[in-house]
Amino acid sequence: MGIVVTIGFSVYYAGLKGSYFADDFKFVFSNPSSKIFYYIFHHNSNLAFYRPIDSSILALIQTYFGMSTLPIHIIILCVHIILSYFLYKVSLGLNFTRLQASLTSLYMLVSQANAFAVLSNDTLSQVGGTLSGFLSLWFFYRFGCSDNKTWNSSQNRPFGLLIISLLFFALSLLFKETSLSFLLATMILAFAISNGSLKYRLQKSFIETIPYLFLTIIYIVVRSSIVVGQPDERYSFILDFTIVKNLAISLLASAIPVSTVKTFVAIQNGNIIFLIALAAISALLWTLVSYGVIKRYSRKLTVLIILVFLMLFPVVFMRHVSELYVYNSMPAISLLFGYGLGTIAAPLLQYRWKQIFLITLLLMLFISHILAIRQKAELLTSNGERASFLLEKIMPYLSKVPERGTLVLLNPADSRVEYSIFLMNGFNVLRYGTNILCQISGRDDIQIWILDDKERGKINIPQDALILSFVNNNVQTITKK
Question: What structural domains does the chain harbor?
Answer: 2-379 (no CATH), 382-478 (3.30.2300)
Strands (E), 329-473: 406-411, 447-452, 466-471
Q: DSSP letters along 183-241, please?
A: HHHHHHHHHHT--S-HHHHHHHHHHHHHHHHHHHHHHHHHHHHH--S---GGG-B--ST
Residue type, position 215, single letter? L
242 vs 75, 164, 261, CA distance in Å? 34, 38, 21
User: What phi and psi, each to the nearest 5 degrees, are found at residue 419?
Assistant: -150, 120
Nearest to 65 by CA among 54, 57, 77: 57
Contact 311, 250 (CB under 8 A): no
* Four-CA torsion 412, 417, 423, 429, nearest 10 degrees: 20
Query: Can you give the pLDDT of all 481 residues of the chain as single tens digits?
Result: 889 999 999 999 999 999 999 999 999 999 999 999 999 999 888 888 899 999 999 999 999 999 999 999 999 999 999 999 999 999 999 999 999 999 999 999 999 999 999 999 999 999 999 999 999 999 999 998 865 544 444 456 688 999 999 999 999 999 999 999 999 999 999 999 888 888 888 898 899 999 999 999 999 999 999 987 766 666 666 766 778 888 888 999 999 999 999 999 999 999 999 999 999 999 999 999 999 999 999 888 999 999 999 998 888 887 777 899 999 999 999 999 999 999 999 888 777 777 888 889 899 999 999 999 999 999 999 999 999 999 999 999 999 999 999 999 999 887 789 999 999 999 999 999 999 999 999 988 999 999 988 877 778 888 889 999 987 778 888 876 5
Q: Residue 230's pLDDT is what?
A: 67
Q: Residue 158's pLDDT is what?
A: 85
| Bridge partner list, 406 | 447
Nearest to 101 by CA among 85, 123, 81, 119: 85
402 vs 191, 394, 407, 445, 467, CA distance in Å? 63, 15, 9, 9, 12
User: What phi and psi, each to the nearest 5 degrees, are found at residue 77?
Assistant: -65, -40
| Other Cβ atoms closer than 10 A to 64 | 10
Contact 216, 180 (CB under 8 A): yes
Cβ neighbours for 345, distance < 8 A, ≥ 6 positions apart: 99, 103, 358, 362
Beta strand pairing status for 406-411 and 447-452? Answer: parallel
Q: Helix 124-145 crosses helix 52-65 at what angle (to 10 degrees)?
A: 130
Q: DSSP letters along 43-62, please?
A: --TT-SS--HHHHHHHHHHH
Distance CA 49, CA 46 (A): 9
Q: Residue 154's pLDDT is what?
A: 43
Nearest to 406 by CA among 447, 460, 361: 447
Contact 462, 421 (CB under 8 A): no
Cβ neighbours for 174, distance < 8 A, ≥ 6 positions apart: 52, 53, 219
Distance CA 228, CA 295 (A): 51
Contact 431, 24 (CB under 8 A): no
| Other Cβ atoms closer than 10 A to 197 | 9
Q: Residue 195's pLDDT is what?
A: 84
Read off the pTM.
0.94
User: What phi and psi, each to the nearest 5 degrees, are found at residue 467?
Assistant: -110, 125
User: What phi and psi, each to the nearest 5 degrees, are found at residue 382?
Assistant: -65, -40
Q: To the nearest 5 percent, what fractions of the chain are helix, strand and coil?
A: 70, 5, 25
Distance CA 225, CA 417 (A): 41
